[in-house]
Amino acid sequence: MRVAFQGEPGAFSEEAIWRYWQRWMRQDLVSVQPGASGGVEVRPLPCATVEEVFRAVQEGGAELGVVPVENSYAGSINETSDFLRSFPLYVRGEVILPVRHCLLALPGQRLEEIRRVYSHPQALAQCSDFIRRHALEAVAAADTAGSARFIREQGLAGAGAIAGGRAAEIYGLEILAGGIEDRPDNQTRFFVIGREPLRFAGPAKTTLIMGTAHRPGALYTCLGAFARRGINLTRLESRPSRARPWEYIFYVDCEGHVDDPVLAEALAELGQLTTYLKVLGSFPPDR
């Protein structure tokens, strides 16, 4: 079973695959591959970009994909939000992963010798205090583990990579400092995407995208469809619609399953109130 992720082996997205496997994927196998069992081998499929993850799933190169959605302190990953809208795929699950960043460097390097640090922009943002405190030049790269591989392959002295501890083992680097994230409760939320919606019973979250009319009270009226029925929203975020300047769409996560009568009734009402509505799927909450 191929599961696509953005980055190199050792990336946090790959770690999210294993976390999802341990908690949910054994049950997910039945709906992804009829007749499959928990003995199916999971094969992470590295992709250069988040867009490639979406394409791999859409075109059948992978059964599932794992993509980062938001970080508890650095905020949302906008490109993931945009691809969720543009690709005809479903959200089948979520993974909330504690993120512990490390400063990695070539063997024999000392922390005071490091002048430049490479990593994904999100990781750099999550470690901004450490970077500033040590007067490091931050260089944005495609991903965390890829930065570690780059340091090793180029033999870059005086440079480090911010990545997970597993990347140090994979690429033969040393950990000069661990737990360098600004907040010890730093977490990243990932979505598991697939070509079909997940069928399951039990507690659920549902995620959707909606557009509202450009008039006073339009968003308020749409949110009332949830409020009047006592449906709790766990996320509400706006993104440019890309249709016209200064026009926005909204990403909504709420508690409940699309097949629950109360939520189904709310979605039916939203269908009459919104200018655009895309239900991405229901899935078991990670916590």
Distance CA 259, CA 70 (A): 26
Q: Which listed residue (54, 190, 200, 250) is catalytic?
A: 190
Using CB atoms within 10 A of its CB, is residue 17 exposed (0-12), middle (13-18) or buried (19+)?
buried
| Every domain of the chain and the residues it spans | 2-98+186-194, 102-178, 205-278
DSSP 21: I
Query: Which pLDDT score is estimated for 40?
Result: 77
Query: Which pLDDT score is estimated for 24?
Result: 78
7, 123 in Cβ contact below 8 A?
A: no
Tell me the backbone φ, ψ of residue 71, rounded to 5 degrees. Answer: -110, 145
Query: Which pLDDT score is estimated for 22?
Result: 86
Q: Which listed residue (144, 188, 206, 207) is catalytic?
A: 188
3-state helix, strand, coil in the chain (%, to 5): 35, 30, 35
- The tokens for 16 are 């999210």
- The tokens for 100 are 């512990």
- What number of CA atoms fall less than 13 Å from residue 37's CA on the CB side? 1
Residue ranges in the chain modelled with pLDDT below 70: 26, 30, 33-39
Query: Which pLDDT score is estimated for 34?
Result: 61
Q: Strand 116-119 vs strand 159-163: parallel, antiparallel, or unpaired? A: parallel
106, 151 in Cβ contact below 8 A?
A: yes
Distance CA 45, CA 69 (A): 19
Query: Which pLDDT score is estimated for 30?
Result: 62
pLDDT tens-digit profile of 122-180? 899 999 999 999 999 999 998 899 999 999 999 999 999 999 999 999 999 999 999 99
Q: Tell me if 2-98+186-194 shares its fold with 102-178.
A: yes
Q: List C-alpha distances in Å: 221 to 138, 209, 229, 262.
A: 44, 16, 13, 17
For domain 102-178, give the fold. D-Maltodextrin-Binding Protein; domain 2 (3.40.190)
The answer to whether 190 is a known catalytic residue is yes
The answer to whether 54 is a known catalytic residue is no
CATH number of the structural domain 205-278: 3.30.70.260
pLDDT tens-digit profile of 238-260? 999 888 888 899 999 999 999 99
Domain 2-98+186-194 has CATH 3.40.190.10: yes
The candidate with the shortest Cα–Cα distance to 127, out of 190, 71, 189, 183, is 183
Tokens 């009459």 belong to which residue?
A: 272
